Structure 1
Amino acid sequence: MAVRDVYLVFDTEALLLALALPDRSLLTADQGAIIMAWALSSIPTCILMAGLWFARRLFVRYAQGETFDPDVPERLGALGLLAMVGAAAGVVVRSLASLVLSLGTPAGEPHLAIGIASHEIAALIIGLLLAAFALVTHDALRLEEGSTVVL
């Protein structure tokens, strides 16, 4: 089993100099594969941007003093879900990018590299904690509504 490094570069001359490769024959990714890998790698960034948007909306509520607003558990839950989806997307996207970049290799040599990074495990744990905190906040809101007495 041969293992090759995958490099996503736009300046092949610089890569050849850095790796001291004699020619371009070892670089098999074509422009289409590079663009596809770049497009795939933008998916986790889009998920991060959506998570930042939900966090912004949540902290606007907190800044307005609406700590126990009925929207807070929903926003916390969405933020947790996005963190978990982002962690899973990181694994899937990196795996697909390695496959896409190796499609130009000779027949029988495409590679699929699957790896889980520590930051993806951390994002998964943070997402689970946010989801649990959303459930606790929802229950706190329910208890607050039940304990409110109208005279």
Structure 2
Amino acid sequence: MTNNGLACFSRRMATVTLLLIVVMLLLNAVLWLYPTLAGKDGWGLGFALTERQLSQIADSAALFPWWQKLGGIVLSSIPLLALASGLNHLRRLFQSYARGEYFARETAVHLGKVGRAVAIWVLLDFLCEPLLSLWVTQNAPVGERLITLSVTAPSFVALFLAACIAVIARILSQASEVDRENRTFI
């Protein structure tokens, strides 16, 4: 792929990443407003924390009062905001690549922040799940209230990828230092 083609592809990827951020946050809110979309009888939409909470209780979640739905949106959005931050750094990385800044120190910083944000997303997802499960079952009769906690294989994969991205970011940072030194000798 030529530099011009790579720049064009990077611009497209920056746009797709921005769309992904917006769709992810909007879809999360929509699923709390219309939980039957996430249920097993619905479209099966959802991801991460929202899906784990709503997939089993979609019918009763449709009857939640507005304040309980709003709380569900807020609690389930906390981890997604960390992920959105990481995706925004990924978008900025693609924008830098579109400008031809392949070995700039800022690109390594953006890539490192992507890895950090993915790790924080997994941690916040783990921490927010018990709070959210209490929130959605608070009006249930005594004995039917739940506290859930999930450790899933995708969480371990995400943590592994976050660590890999962090290592690659460090390598890119070293490469930018070498590139800068080489430019001073020329």
- Decide: shared fold, TM above 0.5: yes
Per-residue deviation, residues 119-149 of structure 1 (Å, max 9, x unmatched)? 2222211111111111111222233344455
Which deviates more from structure 2 when the two are superposed, residues 72-81 or residues 45-54? Answer: 45-54
Equivalent in the alignment of 1:57: 92
Equivalent residues in 2 for 1:1-151, closer than 5 Å: 30-31=64-65, 32-107=67-142, 110-148=145-183, 150=185
RMSD: 2.9
Is residue 98–residue 113 contact of structure 1 (8 Å, CA) maintained in 2? yes
Per-residue deviation, residues 2-46 of structure 1 (Å, max 9, x unmatched)? xxxxxx67579xx9xx9xxxxxxxx59852333312221122332
- Structure with the greater alpha carbon radius of gyration: 1
Is residue 86–residue 123 contact of structure 1 (8 Å, CA) maintained in 2? no
Give, in angstroms, the shift of residue 94 of structure 1.
Answer: 2.3
TM-score, normalised via structure 2 length: 0.59
Q: Which has the higher contact order (CA 8 A, sep 6+)?
A: 1
Structure 2: segments with no counterpart, 5+ residues: 1-31, 43-59
Equivalent in the alignment of 1:21: none
Per-residue deviation, residues 94-136 of structure 1 (Å, max 9, x unmatched)? 2211111122234465321100223222221111111111111
Distance 2:149 2:136 in 1: 14
Q: Greater helix share, 1 or 2?
A: 2
TM-score, normalised via structure 1 length: 0.71
| Number of equivalent positions | 132
Is residue 58–residue 76 contact of structure 1 (8 Å, CA) maintained in 2? yes
Is residue 80–residue 127 contact of structure 1 (8 Å, CA) maintained in 2? yes
Structure-2 change in CA distance of 1:73 and 1:30 (3 Å): same
Give, in angstroms, the shift of residue 54 of structure 1.
Answer: 0.8
Distance 1:106 1:92 in 2: 24
Per-residue deviation, residues 58-116 of structure 1 (Å, max 9, x unmatched)? 01111222111111111111111111111112222222111111222344653211002
Q: Percent identity?
A: 24
Structure 1: segments with no counterpart, 5+ residues: 1-7, 19-26
Structure-2 change in CA distance of 1:135 and 1:102 (3 Å): same
